[in-house]
Amino acid sequence: MKKEHYYTPSSSASTTSGWTAGRRRFADWLPWKLFQDQMNPDKANHGWFIGRYARECLHILPKLPAALKWPVAPTSVLEWHQVDESLREPGIYYGYRPEVSSWTECCHSLFTANNETLNFWTHFFPTVFFIWRTVQLADQWNSKSDGLSSDYAQPFLIYMFSAILYPLMSAIAHGFSALSHRARAVLFFMDYAAINFYAYGSGLLYRAYVLPDSWMQMDANIYLGMCVFLSLASTTLTCTSRAIVRDVVAQRLMRLAAFTLPYIWVSIPLFVRLFDCFRYVEASSSCPTADALRATKLHLCQVIVALLASFCYASHLPERILPGKFDYVGHSHNLLHICGVTATLFQMEGALIDMDVRRSHLIENQLAMMDPFWDQWIPLVVLLGHVLLVAVFGLYIYWNEPQTIPTCNQNKKCH
């Protein structure tokens, strides 16, 4: 029988000293002046800021378990044969949380080693960054005296809302999925819905600022209407895979297809722009200026990183090659989260360049999206549709699934 792993509570003395040192360290690196500089467009350097922020987080995060005293008993982490088959991940042998935990125990687990810790933080920190970036951009646009600024920027704000929502829902799902079997299902329904709402937000962003002129001149009802349909259909398919389908392989294939189809449809015009721009750089209408070429390169980086995220999700590498070696850090879901938010960052910065350099051209040629139908009313309808789907599948889980999965004896393998 393999030895059980436990979270080790800190002593009161070490907790006190760790908390004091943690506060001092926090006060030393808290970058108020840094945030002020980032709010100034003349001083903003987002790459340097993200690198500095990441380095400081790496210094302080290992000290948090010793700096915080949680009013809970030590919580065990389980091995793969101690959890139900539906909870197992390929190549992950250790670090599973108990299926039924309290809210306090779930919060405690976010600061201790298990296979969901980094899944939470790799989406929580990007959520905070995207919120700050949205506030920064909204403040810049509101300060302009041009009356068209708010209408022209409306699609981008809807996109930013979707970019904030999907890592937030993912962080909540990974952080609190151990509450119960039913809670796990409902929280991941919310995660799937947020991802698919982000797919519509990406389509709206592309139609407003990114697509080639030939696609801008087409009827938006076809492109965005299909984005709406695929967004809701993908949520239905992903929720069905968790609520009804029992075969693990079939579940993963259904989710992969559900996330891939909206991405392909949304990105088809972008692929056309990339092909046109990099095949005929000098004569291309898609890259008439150096700024447009720079934006297209960012979009290309977004496509590459998004494909890498899909590969990580589908392949379960590297833990399939070295089982048990990436149980806590570096497994495919960690890489999926990192690649996903990196792709969103490339997408956002590329669209901001397009939004700025193409503004006069789009407005003068009446290609800009000023109709509130697609960037105000339809996003609300799509969001309500996702909420309704989550509620329907949540009720199905409540009526048809037990509160917990029957547990197996820790000395025996399940199934």
Q: What is the 8-class DSSP label of residue 6? A: E
Instruction: Write the pLDDT tens digit of every residue in 325-357.
Output: 999 999 999 999 999 999 999 999 999 999 999
Give the model's pLDDT for residue 65. 45
Q: Which residue has the higher pLDDT, 28 or 171?
A: 171
Which residue type does 170 have? Answer: S
Measured CA to CA in angstroms, residue 79 lies from 9, 173, 315 at distances of 20, 21, 22
The fold of the 115-400 domain, in CATH, is Rhopdopsin 7-helix transmembrane proteins (1.20.1070)
Give the model's pLDDT for residue 232. 97
Q: Which residue has the higher pLDDT, 138 or 130?
A: 130
Question: Stretch 36-49: mean pLDDT, rounded?
Answer: 53
To the question of whether residue 316 is assigned a binding role by annotation, the answer is no
Q: Which residues pair with 96 in a beta bridge?
A: 78
Q: What is the 8-class DSSP label of residue 208? A: I
As a whole number of angstroms, the distance between CA 223 and CA 228 comes to 9
DSSP string, 50-108: HHHHHHHHHHHGGGHHHH---SS---EEB-GGGS-GGG--TT--S-BPPSS--HHHHHH
Q: Where are the strands (E) in 94-149, listed by range?
A: none
As a whole number of angstroms, the distance between CA 256 and CA 233 comes to 13
Instruction: Write the pLDDT tens digit of every residue in 240-268.
Output: 999 998 888 898 899 989 999 999 999 99
Contact by Cβ (8 Å): 89, 323: no
Give the model's pLDDT for residue 189. 97
Contact by Cβ (8 Å): 287, 281: yes
- For the chain, the domains span 115-400
Contacts of 278 (CB under 8 A, 6+ apart): 296, 300
Give the model's pLDDT for residue 49. 56
For the chain, report the end-to-end CA distance as a whole number of angstroms. Answer: 18
Task: Give the three-class secondary structure for 5.
Answer: strand
Measured CA to CA in angstroms, residue 271 lies from 157, 194, 220 at distances of 24, 24, 18
Rg of the Cα atoms in the chain: 23
Question: Stretch 187-209: mean pLDDT, rounded?
Answer: 95
Q: What is the 8-class DSSP label of residue 321? A: T
% the chain with pLDDT above 70: 75
To the question of whether residue 333 is assigned a binding role by annotation, the answer is yes
- Counting Cβ atoms within 10 Å, is residue 22 exposed (0-12), middle (13-18) or buried (19+)? middle
Give the model's pLDDT for residue 292. 85
Question: Stretch 64-79: mean pLDDT, rounded?
Answer: 55
Query: How many other C-beta atoms can be found within 10 angstroms of the C-beta atom of residue 164?
Result: 22
Q: Which residues of 312-337 are buried (b: 16+ CB within 10 A; e: fewer)?
A: bbeebbbbeeeeeebbbeebbbbbbb
Alpha carbons within 13 A on the beta-carbon side of 70: 21
Q: Where are the strands (E) in 252-311, listed by range?
A: none
Q: Which residue has the higher pLDDT, 82 or 34?
A: 82
* 208 pLDDT higher than 80: yes
Question: Stretch 152-180: mean pLDDT, rounded?
Answer: 94
To the question of whether residue 386 is assigned a binding role by annotation, the answer is no
Give the model's pLDDT for residue 157. 92
Contact by Cβ (8 Å): 89, 37: no
